[in-house]
Amino acid sequence: MIVCVCNNISDREIRQAMDLGITSMEELRDALGVATCCGQCFSCAEDILTEQLAAQAAATEIKETVLKRPAFAN
């Protein structure tokens, strides 16, 4: 889905940028140009950012939990 019509940026591109380390709207604006023209996409992009950060945190928590299991310890 296109999130930023002005700059033709999709939700997939936003998520890919976040997989590469972007964690804030400011970084997203600098890297992709999201919300740098009319600004109508700001809240949608921010929602995707928040959702993706939560998903990344959950994945990290699951990974840490699995690695603490006896089968993986030592």
Of 6, 25, 31, 53, the one binding ligand FES by CB under 6 A? 6
Beta-strand ranges (E) seen in the chain are 2-4, 9-10
Whichever of 18 and 34 has its CB closer to ligand FES, that residue is 34
| Smallest separation (angstroms) from ligand FES to the CB of 23 | 20
Residue 1 in tokens: 């889905």
Whichever of 4 and 48 has its CB closer to ligand FES, that residue is 4
Tell me the β-bridge partners of 4. Answer: 9
Of 28, 41, 48, 49, the one binding ligand FES by CB under 6 A? 41
Alpha helices in 20-41 (DSSP H): 25-32
